[in-house]
Structure 1
């Protein structure tokens, strides 16, 4: 770490991650890790472009043209989508604003970085989710004859049950799980907001062996660990999902044509709750959304959900005409027009 403190950028990065993000901005550990990943990727990119080690980079090396090239490389070389690209840029913008207050002598470079625009189109990306039969196909291919398989099955069953973000699931400790009726889990979401999510009795049964395995261990031991007893990571979950999806795709032709990632499981839960007739406000609370507008994006997923969304907003106007409404002499023209 000594080399990190030898220049302005290194010292500023230490303050950025140790004080500014957690204390002044109050960001969660998950968000801080996301910012860290983005900035580490960018610094490595700049290091290669500048031909110097990361520890020798200065603030003026964070030029806007390098940011633009970096963002393009995320899409072209790493296969990242527009949403991920914009999330990485948001982290760089936050860093630039912080650096501008700490080192105003570099204001010109940092203002140019802040002028790099977000890419339009992320909100129009299709929502990938699994149909009911595809969920069953995915879970059925998991071999539950050993501990690893039982862990994987419990992991994905819990994710489908709760619609929780991957990190929310990975942060679960045995103390966050209630196995007795009414079974539930306590999830810590964005901004460290806590919400309680009910789980099915079958899901509680799947979690029971995992909770029992943690008995006598440290109180903060996570529920889901890898073979070495270390906390399972988001990358580990992605790997496990892709492996089981590959097996399931050999039996399901529709799965082979979908681009599914861990967050798709959250989308799947939301879509099926909507199809079951659960109102948007309840789903918003269930998923831990900060705004109801975030939940409403699921209404775009298919035509059935669009109809259900409209029925929730204008239930009377979209109800089918009652028999006799159009009889001669008894027509209520306004009511009839509203139902067209």
Structure 2
């Protein structure tokens, strides 16, 4: 605690620092229009640069790993809900906050089946659903006839919407079960956001355009979607295979036949 009573945090993450700096810059630009006399000081503060940082490689699952995590719906109410939860996460590539906010009325199950998601900044988007997902939702609603239009599609035992912790906990259980089938899942940190990356990567590998994937995931810019190309080594290998290798023949080194070599040979 400093003398002025402000708490100084010396362990601020780089992204948090840049986010706070962005907010500060917005305020200073507003203040510059209100107090022209302080423009010189404000201009110096606006000159503080953003801190650079290395973006971690995106983690994702292969199709076999994802299918192992999904597994088969069990006989209990919780296992059926968890299977639908993971299926919708993979189908839509939604964020956790988006999937737990889905209400029964947000699901459209006619010929153009889709689910309405509420993303960042209260932006809404519609994501199509597989026929198998629609069938599972229909079965789930028949199993829970008391769920009204405004009720959470995936509630907890109390009938309320699931929390982020609930979703992470149920995913960990599914991953621990899937390790018995896919040993590559062991000792890996798999979060609900990993499934979101998996959906995007599988769409990219299927040949879906960047702009469509960006709309699918609710990205404001396609630059975010381009990160998936950096993470996919298989696509890079295919691209390298299309590039013809240079036909270079390596020759064994032959020393020049100079006077020193002649002298050494004569010894």
In 2, are the aligned partners of 1:214 and 1:221 still within 8 Å (CA)?
no
Matching of residue 304 in structure 1 with residue 246 in structure 2: no
SS of the aligned residue for 2:208 comes to coil
Summarize the alignment of residues 314-329 of structure 1 with structure 2, pairs less than 5 Å apart.
none
Query: Which residue does 1:234 correspond to in 2?
Result: 164
Q: Take 1:263 and 1:171, find their aligned partners in 2: how far apart are those partners?
A: 16
Query: Which residue does 2:5 correspond to in 1?
Result: 60
Q: Take 1:196 and 1:225, find their aligned partners in 2: how far apart are those partners?
A: 21
In 2, are the aligned partners of 1:214 and 1:223 still within 8 Å (CA)?
no
In 1, are the aligned partners of 2:21 and 2:50 still within 8 Å (CA)?
no
Query: Which residue does 2:59 correspond to in 1?
Result: 128
Query: Which residue does 1:223 correspond to in 2?
Result: 153
Bigger Rg over Cα:
2
Distance 1:98 1:209, change over 3 A: farther
Q: Give the superposition deviation at 1:258.
A: 2.5
What whole-Å deviation, never above 9, does each CA across 1:74-128 have from its counterpart, x for those lacking one? xxxxxxxxxxx445445655776799999xxxxxxxx99xx7975612x1x1211
Distance 1:151 1:307, change over 3 A: same
Query: Which residue does 2:131 correspond to in 1?
Result: 201
Q: Give the superposition deviation at 1:146.
A: 1.1
Matching of residue 278 in structure 1 with residue 211 in structure 2: no
Query: Which residue does 2:113 correspond to in 1?
Result: 183
In 1, are the aligned partners of 2:104 and 2:148 still within 8 Å (CA)?
no
Distance 1:225 1:87, change over 3 A: farther
Report which structure shows greater RCO (CA 8 Å, sep ≥6).
2
Q: Take 1:148 and 1:117, find their aligned partners in 2: how far apart are those partners?
A: 46
In 1, are the aligned partners of 2:108 and 2:114 still within 8 Å (CA)?
yes
Query: Which residue does 2:250 correspond to in 1?
Result: none
In 1, are the aligned partners of 2:18 and 2:50 still within 8 Å (CA)?
no
What whole-Å deviation, never above 9, does each CA across 1:142-172 have from its counterpart, x for those lacking one? 6520111111000100110111111111111
Distance 1:88 1:250, change over 3 A: farther
Unaligned stretches of 5+ in structure 1? 1-49, 51-56, 72-84, 103-110, 311-317, 321-340
TM-score by length of 2: 0.73
Summarize the alignment of residues 1-340 of structure 1 with structure 2, pairs less than 5 Å apart.
60-62=5-7, 66-69=8-11, 71=12, 85-89=13-17, 93=21, 118=51, 120-121=53-54, 123=55, 125-140=56-71, 143-212=73-142, 219-306=149-236
In 1, are the aligned partners of 2:108 and 2:115 still within 8 Å (CA)?
yes
Distance 1:253 1:220, change over 3 A: same
Unaligned stretches of 5+ in structure 2? 32-43, 245-267
What whole-Å deviation, never above 9, does each CA across 1:243-270 have from its counterpart, x for those lacking one? 2111211332100142211100010001
Q: Take 2:106 and 2:211, find their aligned partners in 1: how far apart are those partners?
A: 24
Q: Take 2:120 and 2:169, find their aligned partners in 1: how far apart are those partners?
A: 24
Query: Which residue does 1:107 correspond to in 2?
Result: none
SS of the aligned residue for 1:197 comes to strand
Distance 1:131 1:68, change over 3 A: same
Q: Take 2:150 and 2:21, find their aligned partners in 1: how far apart are those partners?
A: 34
Superposition CA RMSD, Å: 3.5
